[in-house]
Amino acid sequence: MSKIINNEKDHGQPHILVVDDEETLRYLIREGVERSGYGCSVASDGFEALKILEEKGADVVISDIMMPGMDGIELARRIKEEHDADVILVTGFADEYSYDRVIEIGVSDFLEKPIGIDELILRLRRVLRERTNIRERNRAEKELRGSLKKLRTAMESIVEAMVLAIEKRDPYTSGHQKRVATLAGAIAKEMGLSQDQIDGVRMAGMIHDIGKNAIPGQILSKPGKLTELEMGMMKEHSQIGCDILKGIEFPWPVAQMVLQHHERIDGSGYPQGLLGNETYLGAKILAVADVVEAMASHRPYRAAVGLDKAMEEISKHRGILYDPDVVDAGLKLLREKGFEF
Ligand SMILES: [Fe+2]
């Protein structure tokens, strides 16, 4: 539970809570704090301090360590767990506490008694300054995260629009890219890739056949087998896709993954005949997802071959055409986890 600090209601003036079982010291510090223009509350022990924090919060708590009931170390720990306040600890027995241990709890500063009020106020100012800096940095980071999220959403919408444009022209593979993207993303996840990598693979999957936009419609929807010439033209879609996308600065190598999605790890794929170790992992994932999806669904020139045949195809060529880890993850999803497009 994090508390909202109450300094706003005190006309923007920071509020300090002083905790000490010694009354004289408590008031001496309070006087110094108030003279410096800060609001101040006092508490004579840890329990009272927590109650005040609960009720009205504070920006900084200045606390003694040796106190009956709850010592300053325990109080500091509870404050760091339950409240959004900085802590400065003060002790007459500094030798008994290691600086590292105190700082480890999250305490901002540590002073030895007898304390000079001027020194304490200087340290308090530094803690308040850092607090303001951190708060401003957090606010800036939050704004930046918000802008990045908006940009990402815009990028996704643009990609969706591109997908729609392709599918308008090639209704037969309508949905193919989306389903490949879904399966490729699930395989990437199954392989333990980071969320960022998963997002990249999914994005490349969404537009991996964008180059088909440049292929004549009668080839795309031709029932029956393609001639060698037509097949040659069809194969150009990987390079065309890459050419279309390479000017876009995606946060992932989308153009390269699209270029390589028909490569096979033994070098028998196209357009470059790359080997497994020369191909992006994302492209190897797309290759498997593409084959499985294509076999599992209908095409103008043939009925669906079926998911069983698709699984047979990737197992048979595991480690030959397709990356073995990608195949294993894909089979696990389809066989054991009941993956559905
Ligand atoms: Fe393709």
Residue 321, token pair as written in the block: 């055409």
Long-range contacts of 237-242 (CB under 8 A, 24+ apart): 237/209, 237/211, 237/212, 238/211, 238/262, 238/270, 238/271, 239/211, 239/271, 240/210, 240/211, 240/213, 240/214, 240/215, 241/207, 241/208, 241/209, 241/210, 241/211, 241/212, 242/211
Query: Measured in angstroms, how far is the CA atom of residue 209 from the centroid of ligand 1?
Result: 5
- Min mean pLDDT across 47-61, 142-156, 289-303 is at 289-303
Measured CA to CA, the distance from residue 237 to residue 258 in angstroms comes to: 9
Query: Measured in angstroms, how far is the CA atom of residue 153 from the centroid of ligand 1?
Result: 25
Are 82 and 93 contacting, i.e. CB atoms less than 8 angstroms apart? no
Query: Measured in angstroms, how far is the CA atom of residue 299 from the centroid of ligand 1?
Result: 14
Mean pLDDT of 253-282: 97
Measured CA to CA, the distance from residue 339 to residue 333 in angstroms comes to: 5
Q: What is the pLDDT of residues 84-96, one digit of tens each?
A: 999 999 987 766 7
Q: N- to C-terminal Cα distance for the chain?
A: 41
Mean pLDDT of 282-303: 88
Query: Measured in angstroms, how far is the CA atom of residue 195 from the centroid of ligand 1?
Result: 24
Q: Is the pLDDT of residue 6 over 90?
A: no
Radius of gyration of the chain (CA): 32
Domains and CATH numbers, the chain: 6-139 (3.40.50.2300), 170-336 (1.10.3210.10)
Q: What is the pLDDT of residues 134-147, one digit of tens each?
A: 999 999 999 999 99
Query: Measured in angstroms, how far is the CA atom of residue 115 from the centroid of ligand 1?
Result: 74
